[in-house]
Amino acid sequence: MSSKSLRKTIQQMQQDPQRAQVMAADCPSRAVLGHITSRWGVLVLVMLLERTHRFSELRRAVGGVSEKMLAQTLDALAYDGLVLRVARQVVPPHVEYSLTPLGREAATRLEVLVDWIEDNFPLIHAAQKAAALQAA
């Protein structure tokens, strides 16, 4: 990091000591980054952009996720204030998950990345094949 960048970072921290510093090893914002960008976190957030979903709907929609991992992911995202969990007292009882305004903002940004990966996967796959051939 250049001294100019370091000075700018220090100045920003002094102006707003509550601001997260995700590059700092001990910053608690890293846990949030991990929750949002985890394998299942990205997929759950993007899926919830559509509408509110029940747990079983999410499990079916997010291929490959176990019940345990989905529950852990939803709990972490709810803890971070990105997902709203509502338990419905009906027969049979069920739980619904939706995005909070903060979660919607994060999911909208992630959707751009997911779309980019899907659009560019043929190029990515070709690069992977070339790298595998070169390594062999």
Walk me through the domains of the chain, giving residue ranges and CATH numbers: 23-135 (1.10.10.10)
Query: Is the distance from CB of 41 to CB of 69 less than 8 angstroms?
Result: no
Q: Kindly report the pTM of this predicted structure.
A: 0.80
* Consecutive H or E run containing 86: strand 83-88
pLDDT at 1 > cutoff 60? no
pLDDT at 43 > cutoff 90? yes
Task: List pLDDT tens digits, range 44-62.
Answer: 999 999 999 999 999 999 9
Query: Is the distance from CB of 58 to CB of 71 less than 8 angstroms?
Result: no
DSSP state of 16: -
DSSP state of 90: S
